[in-house]
A and B are shown apart, each in its own frame.
Chain A
Amino acid sequence: MIRQTLLGAVAALAFALPAAAQDFAITNATVATGDGSEPIENATIVVQNGRVTAVGSGVPVPAGVPVADGAGAWVTPGLFATVTELGLWDVGAVSESNDTGASGSPFSAALDVAPAINPQSQHVKVSRAGGITHAAVAAMPASSIFGGQGAIIDLGDDPDPVVRPRAFQVVALGEGGARRAGGSRVSAHALFRNALREARQYGEDASISGTASRAPETRTGDDMPLDPRLVDNEAQRDDVLLSRFDAAALVPVVNGSQKLYVVVERAADIRSVLALRDEFPALDLVLVGASEGWLVADEIAAAGVPVIADGLDDLPGSFEELGSTQSNVGRMVRAGVKVAINASAMEQPRYLPQFAGNLVALSKLPGAAGLTWGQAFAAISSVPAQISGLGADAGTLSVGQAGDIVIWDGDPLEVSSAPVRVYIDGIQQPMDNHQTRLAERYRDLDTSDLPKAYDW
């Protein structure tokens, strides 16, 4: 009854949900740091002022810090779900509640998910209860090959979910991009190159106009200084396909100050994406999907491009995924590619541990390439944090990192396990949601005194 012991111990730390970070220490825990190493038994972790201040075997607990005996329970960093729709929808098929795509929008690259994210979404709450403390939120390409600018959020129970707005731009190449570009990959690449050239020109215009050095006075919707070109553009601009808003949004992509997530599956398409850097050397590329990544793993590794991969795809779901295999991630990791598991390839982001566990299971099968437990956990914690640009702050349990901590009732990659406590920045988080309330209400079906509507 590890869980009972731990629940009691941790409950002693927190009588009510505090709004501020608490100092606490957990001893005698099985700590997985998330950095790719194997779990450490009988370890201690100390959190002070919302940050990890000590972790490991035999580390001392500073005087005055409340201590709980973990009784062997698992303690991990919060999970980092990359490429999600969290906070962008309530019910998928209820279009009014769904902000994940805008096929009728006049804008594309300029779209910015940050103002739309709802931290009270049930999907945020359910994912938080599943141990996810951070997520990359993306809108997917709908009206064009560009999906717009994604944000990094934390899943804390507070009004400020966005940790980093406009953290990355999304573009679909391959089959999805081809459809949106007018019908072919050829068109998608032409549109893409043209857009980046326009953005490059647009950015260069800013520096030669003689006015861009003026102190910013106003903010536009994409949070860049008001550009004089928006007021008085004397530059010669023929063949312009992008709106100024979209072009402005792509300037940080083409100059490499914003990451570009490229949705792509086929080996040949991946090669074409890697080759884009011959023309646009500053691109900070991230591959998303990459079902055939294993076929070009050495080239991806040589290019130093990280991958957010569909963890368990093994069907030829389309002609761009003929080579799909569950060994894709393992083979890329062996080749030296930095790989995170793509949350958008599963029903719910909180399946991430299950997917990671399945990759561990592969290690027992001849011919398959699996991951070690440590590698698998890193693929849902530190690696996605690094790929998303938050690696210095989140994703591992190491000194100086945010106190994003999950205490589990068992091995976190095992399907029977679940979090019992979740902390974000050292603040204990609520675990309840619409689902937990329904389960409580219908634990019995007794309506002899009053209808169920009075049971709350």
Chain B
Amino acid sequence: MKRFHRLAVGVGLASLALAGCATTGSSDAASASDTKATRGRSGADPAPYASTYKPYPGVPTALVGATVYDGAGGEIRDGIVLFADGKVVGIGDASLTVPAGYTRIDGTGKFVTPGIIDIHSHLGDYPTPSVQAHSDGNEATSPTTPEVWAEHSVWPQDPGFTRALANGGVTALQILPGSANLMGGRSVTLKNVPSRTVQGMKFPGAPYGLKMACGENPKRVYGSRGRMPSTRMGNFAVNRQTWLDAKEYDGKRRDLAKETLKGVLDGEILVHNHCYRADEMALVMDMAKEMGYKVTAFHHAVESYKIGDLLRENEVCSAVWADWYGFKMEAYDGIPQNAALIHNQGACVIIHSDDANGIQRLNQEAAKAQAAGRRIGIDIADHNVISWITLNAAKAMGIADLTGSLEAGKMADVVLWNGDPLSVYSRPEKVWVDGALLFDAMDSKRRPVSDFELGQPGEGDVK
């Protein structure tokens, strides 16, 4: 009965998300300890709530004999992937030498990809069980709330994280505040590792994002309360005035909202803009130019196929579903060929989930989008399709120098699939995060169980 559930939600605040903005650079413990040197005029700590994530131990590992998609457009049959000390050491064909001391895993007939990355998730902010007490994804009390940070809502015990790992091979994800607001707040990027605290999941060095939303959601939420915005022109007016006010911010007196917006204007925080319609995306790109910021990605961009050229010229990514459509007016022109048509125009494509179930099957969604393109004569190679759920997502999240592809020196975020990841019949067999084996389908104990699930029906089940 999920579908009916979703519709009910849809009519309310529904289709949530957007992606957040990031603060700058490194938020890890090391940089936080150096706050004196980096404090701004305001004296603000540049990295509060800093990441405490530390990679878990792994063993030097050689995946041998599988088909390897490196996430960056490379494909190696009968390949070898080496990782040790949490990093990718190298990848190559069968001639690559496996150093002594490496644990060999036979990948014959199997496939290896980078860890899957979801650029648009609300796990933790809208965790399961989906009860009102858990509804922490929309600060729907003011049309602009750039002062809120999604990380302050994340419940690390959300069982959804474990399903995304085990069934989806997801190793990193961006948690966005919802789309009730024009400016919904900052996103947070997480490594998909179980933790007692959100700081223990925070992706070291990931920039923040600012989630923005255009279109129906903000005008509906606030218009229904008899306040601005109640129209699309109201959306733009509130946004533009808010940017103009932010540009005058001098940082002398701390203002959390303006600190975020200044981060965007300074290029340190990435804009993830929920936006469906082509005409509206074009207006938003003009607004960004007017105000002096850049849109990193449009999310839910079901009409990107109408303006693939504009998106390419403006270097804006489209984070899309394979084929959702019709659930709201601005989704009425959604088509399954969207991703392929965007790709065909040379613009950047990312497949996102915005859904606790969909995040478990991003590989299948990418395959569906690929097949829809093939049917209208657009052939996109498998190794490029894999980039839609790995490196392209990492680029738009500002973490591509750390993860998203299998390249020496990058984090060893790796999935061993028991078959072609673009087939419905395949599942992750093993998933490593920073070289640590955190899921193993062949080992019932190598499967995380959240606090919430302990002692409940189905504890530790295959799920």
Contacts and interface: CB of A to CB of B under 8 A. Distances in A.
- Among A94, A263, A367, A435, chain B packs the most CB atoms within 10 A around the CB of A435
B462 A416 contact: no
B54 to A, nearest CB: 28
A100 B4 CA distance: 9
A305 interface: no
Contacts, number: 191
A438 B333 contact: yes
A326 B360 CA distance: 12
B35 interface: no
B458 A361 contact: no
Contact of B160 (A100, A315, A368, A440): A315
B462 A365 contact: yes
B425 A357 contact: yes
Interface in A362-396: 362, 364-368
Interface in B321-371: 323-329, 331-337, 341, 345, 356-357, 360-361, 364, 367-368, 370-371
Interface residues of A, number: 69
B442 interface: yes
A418 B324 contact: no
A318 B457 contact: no
Nearest to B307: A445
B423 interface: yes
B1 A310 contact: yes
Nearest to B423: A414
Contacts of B128: 315-318
Interface in B230-261: none
B225 interface: no
Contacts of A443: 341, 376-377
Contact of B327 (A93, A315, A325, A342): A93
B167 interface: yes
Contact of A361 (B5, B159, B323, B425): B425
A354 B456 CA distance: 29
Interface string A412-437: 01111110000000000000001100
B131 interface: yes
Given A91-B329, A323-B457, A325-B462, A416 B371 contact: yes
A313 interface: yes
B453 interface: yes
A327 B367 contact: no
Interface stretch (A109-117, A242-250, A288-296): A288-296
B3 A344 contact: yes
B424 A414 contact: yes
Interface in A306-322: 310, 312-319, 321-322
Nearest to A319: B129
A315 B345 contact: no
B11 A324 contact: no
B327 A361 contact: no
Contacts of B131: 318-319
Given A354-B424, A443-B341, A318 B367 contact: no
Contacts of B328: 91-94
Contacts of B308: 445
Contacts of A445: 306-309, 345
A360 interface: yes
A123 B10 CA distance: 17
A57 to B, nearest CB: 25
Contact of A415 (B307, B424, B444, B452): B424
A343 to B, nearest CB: 8
Contacts of A361: 424-427
A442 interface: yes
B327 A344 contact: no
Contact of B2 (A92, A95, A310, A415): A310
B163 A317 contact: no
A94 B329 contact: yes
Interface in B118-170: 128-131, 159-160, 163, 167
Given A365-B462, A414-B423, A312 B456 contact: no
A92 B462 contact: no
Interface in B416-448: 418-419, 422-427, 441-442, 444
Contact of B336 (A310, A367, A368, A435): A435
A317 B424 contact: no
Given A92-B326, A314-B163, A348-B323, A100 B367 contact: no
B375 interface: yes
B326 A368 contact: no
A414 B167 CA distance: 17
A347 B3 CA distance: 6
Interface string B166-177: 010000000000
A85 B1 CA distance: 12
Contact of A435 (B6, B335, B461): B335
A301 interface: no
A364 B426 CA distance: 9
B371 A346 contact: no
A418 B371 contact: yes
A11 to B, nearest CB: 16
Contacts of B370: 416
- Among A122, A289, A310, A434, chain B packs the most CB atoms within 10 A around the CB of A434
B305 interface: yes
In the A-B complex, the 3 residue pairs with the closest CB atoms: A357-B424, A323-B457, A416-B371
Interface of B: 1-7, 10-11, 14, 128-131, 159-160, 163, 167, 216, 305-309, 323-329, 331-337, 341, 345, 356-357, 360-361, 364, 367-368, 370-371, 374-377, 418-419, 422-427, 441-442, 444, 452-453, 456-458, 461-463
7 contacts: A315-B128, A317-B128, A319-B129, A319-B131, A364-B418, A439-B336, A445-B306
